[in-house]
Amino acid sequence: MSTWTFTQTGEGPALVILHGIFGDRNNWKTVAQKIPGHTLYYVDLPGHGETPSPKSWALADLARDGWAWMEANRIDHPILLGHSWGGKIAWEMALQRPDSVRALIIGDIGPLTTPIEILRIGTILNQAAAQNERDGVKAVLLQHFPPNLAGFFLKSWKGGERAWVFDLPAFIQHAETLRQGLPPGRIYPGPTLQIWGKNSEYPTPEALEASRPFFPQLTTAFVEGAGHWFHAENPQRTLEIVTDFIHKL
């Protein structure tokens, strides 16, 4: 039985929310809690928050873990919403069992090798955590990241032996596995929304082109004035895009 930790709120059809790497189940609450008429499942993905690291970081194995978790919790025919690495897991889950997913929402990620520099970010986070106090950690983060991204990371700092709420040593060890792309040749035929941050580096022409063959019903949307973490930078516009898509299902 999968041991993914989650918070459940609301009533109605299931909406499962999978955060990105370096995050936790609270990342999407500002947006998702305003989506009406659904049972919301906020998940701590493996190696994040209160969910332990997995035996395998391979995307296909993580997706199978996701289905085991859903079966254990009797979650049926959900909308899957995944951001970044969580988007890849949601994507793979939909490809594995296309008839079991009502709709798919993918946030700022394509099927190619993920451009995020896990090793570089990991080095910075280790340097920050060595400060052992919040102001010092914040100062190091601000040396390397814009304020909104530094604040995003700071929310995950807790100090102590495991300074972050995520398993940073495992991310560094398995960096290349975490960055791997999705094998082509499969499709998810259901309604699909791919949201990109307008200022993000992720929606390259190659990523946009590579996404299309997977999704016969693909809709693409851009969040103005936001980068990769668009749901934190422009939550109101993100909410409008997501609720409009769900309303049309």
Q: List the structure tokens of 176.
A: 């290349």
Span 106-116, pLDDT tens digits: 999 999 998 87
Count of domains in the chain?
A: 2
Q: Examine the domain organization and report whether 38 and 88 are in the same domain.
A: yes
Q: Examine the domain organization and report whether 49 and 144 are in the same domain.
A: no
pLDDT at residue 117, rounded to an integer: 85
Span 39-51, pLDDT tens digits: 999 999 999 999 9
Q: List the structure tokens of 129.
A: 């955590």
Q: Examine the domain organization and report whether 92 and 214 are in the same domain.
A: yes
* Band of residue 132 on the pLDDT scale cut at 50, 70, 90: confident
Q: Examine the domain organization and report whether 40 and 100 are in the same domain.
A: yes
> Which own/partner pairs from 70-73 qualify as long-range (CB within 8 Å, at least 24 positions apart)?
70/16, 72/1, 72/2, 73/6, 73/41
Task: Give the residue-averaged pLDDT of 215-241.
Answer: 95
Q: Examine the domain organization and report whether 187 and 66 are in the same domain.
A: yes
Would the pTM count as exceeding 0.75? yes
pLDDT at residue 146, rounded to an integer: 85
Closest CA to 141 of 152, 202, 170, 85: 152
Q: List the structure tokens of 2.
A: 């999968």
Span 5-24, pLDDT tens digits: 999 999 999 999 999 999 99
Span 133-146, pLDDT tens digits: 999 999 999 999 88
pLDDT at residue 1, rounded to an integer: 46
Span 73-86, pLDDT tens digits: 999 999 999 999 99
Q: Which domain holds residue 163?
A: 118-172
Residue 225 has a CB neighbour count (10 Å cut-off) of 11
| pLDDT over 90, % of the chain | 91
Out of 24-28, 103-107, 186-190, least confident range: 24-28
pLDDT at residue 63, rounded to an integer: 97
* Band of residue 2 on the pLDDT scale cut at 50, 70, 90: low
Q: Examine the domain organization and report whether 73 and 196 are in the same domain.
A: yes
Chain position carrying tokens 């980068």: 227
115 three-state secondary structure? coil
99 three-state secondary structure? helix
**What's the chain's average pLDDT?**
95
CA separation, residue 114 to residues 20, 84, 86, 202 (Å) = 12, 8, 12, 8
Q: Which of 172, 190, 213 lies at the terminal end of a domain, its last residue?
A: 172
Rounded (5°) CA angle 8-14-18: 70
Q: Residue 96's domain is classified under what CATH number?
A: 3.40.50.1820
Q: Examine the domain organization and report whether 146 and 225 are in the same domain.
A: no
Q: Examine the domain organization and report whether 31 and 129 are in the same domain.
A: no
pLDDT at residue 219, rounded to an integer: 97
CB contact at 8 A, 173 and 79: no
Q: Examine the domain organization and report whether 106 and 221 are in the same domain.
A: yes
